[in-house]
Structure 1
Amino acid sequence: MDAETDEMLPRPARRPRIAVFAGPTATILNTPDLVTSNKARVRHGLPLLPSRFDVLRSQRLAAPATLYVEAFSAHPLERESAGLYAPPDGWLDKEGTFHQEQPFEDATPVYVVELDPADGLYPLPYMARQADGSAWEETAAAPFAPAAAARQTFYPDARRLYEEIDRFGLADLGAPVELGSLAEFDFFRAAPSGGYTSGPDAERPGKDFFVYYPYHLQSEPGLANLAEATNQVQAVLSTGGFTGVQWLEGSPTVDETLYWLGLLVDTTVPLVGHAAQRRHQSASADGDRNVVDGVKFIASGVALDENGVDRIGACVIVDELVYSARDVTKVDARPGGYEVTGGHGGVVADMGGYGPPQVTYLPARRHTHRSDLRLTVLPDRVSGVTGALDTGVSLVDVETKDAGGLVPAAMPHVSITKYSRYAATGAGSDHPSLSDDEVEILARIDAGLAGAPLTGFVCEGMSPFGMADPAKNAALGVAVFAGMPVVRTGRGNTGGMAYRMDPAFISGNNLTATKARLLLMAALLKFGALPPAADPFHPTPAEYAATVRAVARYQVLFDTH
């Protein structure tokens, strides 16, 4: 943060306290591979890299050191202003001997720098080698090596990231960024990207932490991890000691998690998500600036109403814009590769450049402390469905919440099915399509009845109406009358509303399929399954009417959240 911007921020009695959560597969917490430097290669007689310069990586000094820095070497035009400078600390002769007085005219003027381990990190050549003495050429000991022979590139939490931003970040007017002068930070790990794999409490990739690099070792969190992370965020915020949250996750999915947290977490403080398209420490890394902007946004108080309560809801702050998490998605792997979905706004604030953040509009949807789906008001138990399509479906009691929050094993299973023209079987009066043609949907219905009592579907259909071909519509109708709610959304980044074409189906409004899936998961935790028909393929008029009444409650949530 530069001094000019810093002066524009309000100065509360005490610094804001921000909870920073490290989420999964987060490029913003990922660093380039640690490659052995040429300094080390020369020292140990290893083949050299063809680079002109060694890459410098942030490391800690083990002992104090004295360095001599050539004067006027910080900028190619610095010497032109030599008359504005105080004399140097001394001079070095051609043998490298230091003199406090200039020994001769062409001696090198220098500044004396005393480096100390207490100073923090310094950029230095990377000197480490592999156990067999060879150079590190990539993260793994060899291409496609197993996890046991691969190092990690992701930080385990955001502590080191914030330290490096503070240490190396340069504000526009030449001052340090100094995040620590704007806020206090507590760091948490919620389905993090890096893990501790040694010692008695060793963590396992794919279970305790979730990476995508090296690519052949990629792992993904599941529904249980989402439940545990939600419980953790709620528990941290329930202490009442935090001014806001920063959530760090991979760029393709950060908007989904933030939308979910905005539905479930009962809080009056801002929930802010960040991602990066480029790894930390790499050229033009965008994640560092996104973090700085998030701190600036929370510390400014611009998200709060006159009572000090968040009025915007969960946001994603990237590329100097503040997006409503409900209404943004990643469309390309580059800075600026985010777009508003639904065609109806979505950018709630601008980070202001040299000035303070400015709110440009307030979302009308319910969120956080106003959400009807927040953890504090969700029931402890709902009805689910069990059985099989060929033998019958019945209701079963499901415990969805306990003293710790969401029950991970009870998280709803919601699948997305996508419409495209020219199905395997056509549709017409001579050859009507049957639900039996949709073997995948029918299989998922039976799988849900066998092991996931809270199950639903999202159909990404025609834009904007959400309709699909007759066979898919028929199969999804079977799901509805087997107790599984179905949401219809428009295809892709729909610019319009998916209107209600059938009262037995939920209209996804202007949500994308991925966001509709999250809202349906939350709705299942609130209302449970729909009332199943005795024969889901042939519901009676009374059963149809009961389903329509139940679906109407879901529709209210989709119209307001």
Structure 2
Amino acid sequence: MRGDLLPAGAPRPRIAVFAGPTATILNTPDLVTSNKARARHGLPLRPGRSDVLRPQRLAAPATLYVEAFSAHPLEEDAAGLYAPPDGWLDEDGAFHTVRPSEGAKPVYVVELDPADGLYPLPYMGRQADGSAWEETSVAPYAAPAEARQTFYPDARRLYEEIERFGLADHGTPVELGSVADFAFFRAAPSGGYTAGAESERLGRDFFVYYPYHLQSEPGLAHLALATNQVQAVLDTGEFTGVQWLEGSPTVDETLYWFGLLIDTGVPLVGHAAQRRHQSLSADGDRNVVDGVKFITSGVALDERGESRVGACVIVDELVYSARDVTKVDARPGGYEVTGGHGGVVADLGGYGPPQLTYLPARRHTQRSEVRLTVLPETVVGVTGSLDAGVTPAEVRIKDADGLVPSAMPHVSITKYSRYAATGTGTDSPPVAEEEVEILARIDANLAGFPLSGFVCEGMSPFGMADPTKNAALSVAVFAGLPVVRTGRGTTGGMAYRTDPVFVSGNNLTATKARMLLMAALLRFGALPPAADPFAPTPDERAATEKAVAQYQALFDTH
């Protein structure tokens, strides 16, 4: 997708497009055998008057006769405004350049060529046994080897189809390649190449949610590798911005992480879709176009040419700060601002240019204090067990390639709800050992994850939990595992600091607090462990409070 210089003579914008995991925006409906193919091969026909047309490529040139005035039901009313047709077809289907009779059909002659690109055509594919495809797999719940893929491996085909079949508001082509150049990358993508010597494997190299029985999810190591890849691409200095495509439930988490870790001055925008590409009212295509519009407009840049809004999610013609948005429903318009303050960075402007509506006050990208370039190469973690004792251990978190995947922090979310198994009061003080899940996770972290912590999604918005859970989480804190308190759900207010050994999550949701705590662990390492996490001394408590204050400063500003 290339073109000439912009009218002002400035170099054309160049955008890096990353295909991320489980991305509905890169997903397409199942390829189902058309009735054209079924009739040709004597198979039972599907109900319905029309075949669905799917984008495909011609193998050879073809000449078609298109009925004049068939593009709109009122087109013929304006026939006097039109040039004569290219010819007429008589009752036998023969073409004439001079009208042969009153009943002859006026037509346009269209020469189609494979070089034109994709055309919507009936899908003629069948299964190996000659039967029709009725879904993406040979049968329900088929193994991966017997299932086709519905996700695109990268965004190249998506952008081609948007340009080829999308219509701008006034009937002109959608502007993508005419306004920018694109480079396509795959970072824990949704589709994979499974044939050949270097074939990729589902659940290791690519991650799908459909067919649903084959759902797979990327892990912390994949997040580290994706972070390194995005930073390496931007370090080339070749790109005006980044578009990241991911599944709608999680795109905001990844973009917030990138906004914390990626050291760049260019806009980072994420897109998702609630409906699959090519489906009725697919929303993802418009989100992509809006992202290109936002990046190329330069509205996000300050006087130095650097982004002043940080990482954003662009959906439904709105630009949200990635820190402050979450998905609440699986429908277009199903995103909401969390935290109760700000969140909508810009409006895409409809027919006009994008307009900024709010500037985030939080630190991000090139101003972030946890960006990749300022993280230390090593930090101190913790290892051991609650029974045998906890000791510090050095952890290498960064090397020449960026983040070390195996060193990624493990942060768990625990949720408060009233009516715990045992109540608490003056006659029944809290006993940390009753929270067996939390204590088991502490020991598992100490055994396998020297950098780890907890987020407690507590009362809204204050973040406190019940006394028993608080007691167990205090054990985690004095074992070296920081704990962040946040409000419950899509919190609309602040989790204030009520205990200096816990980190207040401010107005972050639990999932966003998890991302920031992971980044904070990479910057500061673990908390200083107490000799007995169940009974810290006053000096140990003071040391912990001092270390927690560093974390708190990050949560107050990021």
**TM-score range for the pair, normalised by the shorter chain length:** over 0.9
- Partners of 1:44 and 1:23 lie apart in 2 by 39
Match of 2:393 in 1: 396
| Shift of residue 10, structure 1, vs aligned partner | 8.3
Pick aligned residue for 1:236 from 221, 233, 238: 233
Q: Is residue 162 of structure 1 aligned with residue 149 of structure 2? A: no
Specify which of 48, 68, 71 is matched with residue 71 of structure 1.
68
1:187 to 184, 207, 228: 184
Partner of 2:45: 48
1: distance between equivalents of 2:39 and 2:199? 36
- Structure 1: which 5+ runs fail to align? 1-8
Q: CA deviation at 1:11?
A: 5.1
SS at match of 2:48: coil
Structure 1 residue 15 displacement after superposition: 1.3
Give the whole-Å Cα distance in 1 for the aligned partners of 2:296 and 2:385: 54
The separation in 2 between residues aligned to 1:260 and 1:10, in whole angstroms, is 36
Paired residue type of 1:507: S
Equivalent in the alignment of 1:514: 511
Letter paired with 1:535: D
Distance (Å, rounded) in 2 between the aligned partners of 1:313 and 1:347: 12
**Within 2, Cα distance between the matches of 1:322 and 1:350?**
6
For the residue of structure 2 that corresponds to 1:148, the secondary structure is helix
Partner secondary structure for residue 179 of structure 1:
coil
Query: Using a 3 Å threshold, how does the CA distance of structure 1 residues 37 and 11 change in structure 2: closer, same or farther?
Result: farther
Q: What is the TM-score when the length of structure 2 is the normalising length?
A: 0.99
- Mapped to 1, the partners of 2:130 and 2:492 lie a distance apart of 58
Name the counterpart of 1:410.
407
- Report the residue type matching 1:450 in the other structure: A
Structure 1 position 433, deviation (Å): 2.4
- Corresponding residue of 1:5: none
Secondary structure in structure 2 of the residue aligned to 1:278:
coil
Question: What's the counterpart of residue 205 of structure 2?
Answer: 208
Structure 2 residue 374 is the aligned partner of structure 1 residue 377: yes
Mapping of residues 287-436 of structure 1, within 5 Å: 287-436=284-433
Q: In the alignment, what sits opposite 1:122?
A: 119
- Tell me, yes or no, if structure 1 residue 531 matches structure 2 residue 528: yes
Separation (CA, whole Å) in 2 of partners of 1:477 and 1:10:
62
1:61-140 correspondence runs (5 A): 61-140=58-137
Cα distance in 1 for partners of 2:182, 2:464 equals 47
Any idea what the Cα deviations from partners look like across 1:14-36, whole Å, max 9, x if unmatched? 21000000000000000000000
**For 2:7 and 2:414, how far apart are their aligned partners in 1?**
48
TM-fit CA distance, 1:306 = 1.1
Q: 2:258 aligns with which of 251, 258, 261?
A: 261
Output one character per residue of 1:295-347: Cα deviation in whole Å (capped at 9) or x when no partner.
00000000001111111000000000000000000000000000000000100
- What is the aligned partner in structure 1 of residue 246 from structure 2? 249
The answer to whether the 8 Å contact 1:507/1:558 transfers is yes
- Amino acid paired to 1:443: A
- Change in 2 beyond 3 A, CA 1:283/1:457: same
**Distance across 2 between alignment mates of 1:182 and 1:161:** 17
Amino acid at match of 2:231: Q
* CA–CA distance in structure 1, aligned partners of residues 92 and 11 of structure 2: 54
Q: Secondary structure at the match of 2:178?
A: helix
Letter in 1 for 2:238: G
Q: Which residue of 1 aligns with 2:3?
A: none
Change (3 A) 1:138 1:255: same
Secondary structure in 1 matching 2:177: helix
Letter in 2 for 1:351: L
Instruction: Provide, for residues 270-301 of structure 1, a one-character-per-residue CA deviation record: whole Å limited to 9, x for no partner.
Output: 00000000000000000000000000000000
Alignment partners' CA distance in 2, 1:450 and 1:459: 21
**Are 2:468 and 1:471 aligned?**
yes
The equivalent residue for 2:224 is 227
Equivalents in 2 of 1:258, 1:333: separation in Å? 19
Letter in 1 for 2:241: G
Between the two proteins, the alignment pairs up a number of residues equal to 553
Q: 1:35 aligns with which of 7, 32, 35?
A: 32
Could you say which residue in structure 2 is the equivalent of 1:141?
Answer: 138
Q: How far does residue 430 in structure 1 lie from its aligned partner after superposition?
A: 1.2
Could you say if the C-alpha distance between residues 245 and 10 of structure 1 is closer, same or farther in structure 2, counting changes exceeding 3 Å? farther
Structure 2 SS opposite 1:348: strand
Sequence identity percentage: 82
Of residues 458, 463, 473, the one that matches 1:461 is 458
Instruction: Tell me the distance in 2 between the aligned counterparts of 1:509 and 1:321.
Output: 24
What CA distance in whole angstroms lies between the structure 2 residues aligned with 1:480 and 1:501? 15
Deviations 1:490-536 (A, max 9, x none): 11111111000100000000000000000000000000000000000
Residue matched to 1:270: 267
Which residue is 2:547 aligned to?
Answer: 550
Cα distance in 2 for residues equivalent to 1:494 and 1:421: 17
**Partner Cα separation in structure 2 for residue 524 and residue 78 of structure 1:** 65
- Contact (CA 8 Å) 1:10, 1:300: kept in 2 or not? no
Which digits, 9 at most, give the CA deviation of each residue in 1:336-366, with x for residues without a partner?
0000000001001000000000001100000
Of 187, 192, 197, the residue aligned with 2:194 is 197
For residues 548 and 539 of structure 1, the distance between their equivalents in structure 2, rounded to whole angstroms, comes to: 12
Give TM-score scaled by structure 1 length. 0.98
After TM superposition, give the deviation of residue 206 of structure 1 in Å. Answer: 0.4
Look up the equivalent residue of 1:228 and give its one-letter code.
L
Segments of structure 2 that go 5 or more residues without pairing to the other structure are 1-5
- The alpha carbon displacement at 1:143 in A equals 0.7
Which letter maps to 2:472?
Answer: A
Alpha-carbon distance in structure 2 between the residues aligned to 1:504 and 1:345: 29
AA partner of residue 189 (structure 1): R
Deviations 1:178-222 (A, max 9, x none): 310010000000000000001000000000000000000000000
CA contact (8 A) 1:170 1:177 kept: yes
Residue of structure 1 equivalent to 2:171: 174
Asked whether the equivalents of residues 21 and 157 of structure 1 are also in contact (C-alpha less than 8 Å), the reply is yes
Q: Secondary structure at the match of 1:237?
A: helix
Shift of 1:258: 0.1
Paired amino acid for 1:65 = A
SS of 1:323's partner is strand
Aligned partners of 1:36, 1:128: CA distance in 2, in Å?
6
- SS where residue 517 of structure 1 aligns? helix
1:12-27 mapped onto 2 (5 Å cutoff): 13-27=10-24
Distance verdict in 2 for CA 1:288–1:185, change over 3 Å:
same
Q: What is the RMSD computed on CA atoms of the aligned residues?
A: 0.8
| Cα distance in 2 between the residues matched to 1:94 and 1:256 | 62
> 1:41–1:48: 8 Å Cα contact kept in structure 2?
yes
Deviation at 1:12, TM superposition (A): 5.6
Distance of 2:153 and 2:358 partners within structure 1:
36
Distance 2:239 2:266 in 1: 8
After TM superposition, which residue ranges in structure 1, 4 or more long, deviate above 3 angstroms?
9-12
